[in-house]
Amino acid sequence: MEKKQDTVVNHEEDFDCDMSFKCNICKSSYSSRKFLNAHKLIHYKQNTNKCEICHKLFSTSSNLSTHKLVHTGKKPFKCNLCNKSFAHSSNLTVHKLTHSDQYSYTCKVCTMTFKTNSNLLSHYSIHTSEKLYKCDICKKSFFKKDQIAVHMMKHTGQKPFKCDICTVSFSIKGNLTAHKFTHFNQKTFKCDFCNKSYSIVGNLNRHISTHTKKKAPKK
């Protein structure tokens, strides 16, 4: 859980609420130096390396190879502390910071502190309404990194959470948990209006709407 501290480390050069990091070539503006530097590459490099699956272009073959992991679902970089795996070594490096007790990244708007720069970026978007995480395939954008991770499974077809009873697979762990209730006929979600029970919370919510929905007045 992220926390506030009295003594904080500011990253004034990395963020600016006024989008003051401007490209000197095309005058595009960005809220961080990181995004400005990434943008400038399009002016200096030709994207000649093409992904044969989604046809996205990359400036280097190494960037293309890294991108292809999105389609294969391979995660060769494993954390030696919790065995969580990642597709990119840089993501593993950032992940290891979550095992630390240091909160070195500070939001200069509200002074909340974070363990990683990516968590700070995710938080910072609530002040700017800027969706920083963009899907390379369909260009849909998200506020948080975990949101785009779940979204990418729609493109890859990856469903890592498998039911050990009927082998049906899911892309989200919560959906697997809800599914398992159907095998044991456990109806743990009870309606407060009529005491009818359901095994899946979504079904309960739909049922509750029948109680709360206002009927149109008779003419």
| Domain 161-212: homologous superfamily in CATH | Classic Zinc Finger (3.30.160.60)
Give the per-residue pLDDT at 17. Answer: 44
| Pairing label, strands 141-142, 161-162 | unpaired
Give the per-residue pLDDT at 27. Answer: 64
Same fold, 3-156 and 161-212: yes
pLDDT digits (tens, 9 = 90+) for 85-97: 888 787 888 788 8
Distance (Å, whole) CA 25 – CA 28: 8
For CA atoms 9, 11, 15, 18, the dihedral sign is positive
Give the per-residue pLDDT at 47. Answer: 65
Give the per-residue pLDDT at 141. Answer: 85
Sequence spans of domains, the chain = 3-156, 161-212
Task: Considering the domain delimited by 3-156, tell me its CATH architecture.
Answer: 2-Layer Sandwich (3.30)
Give the per-residue pLDDT at 218. Answer: 45
Residues (pLDDT < 50) of the chain are 1-18, 215-219
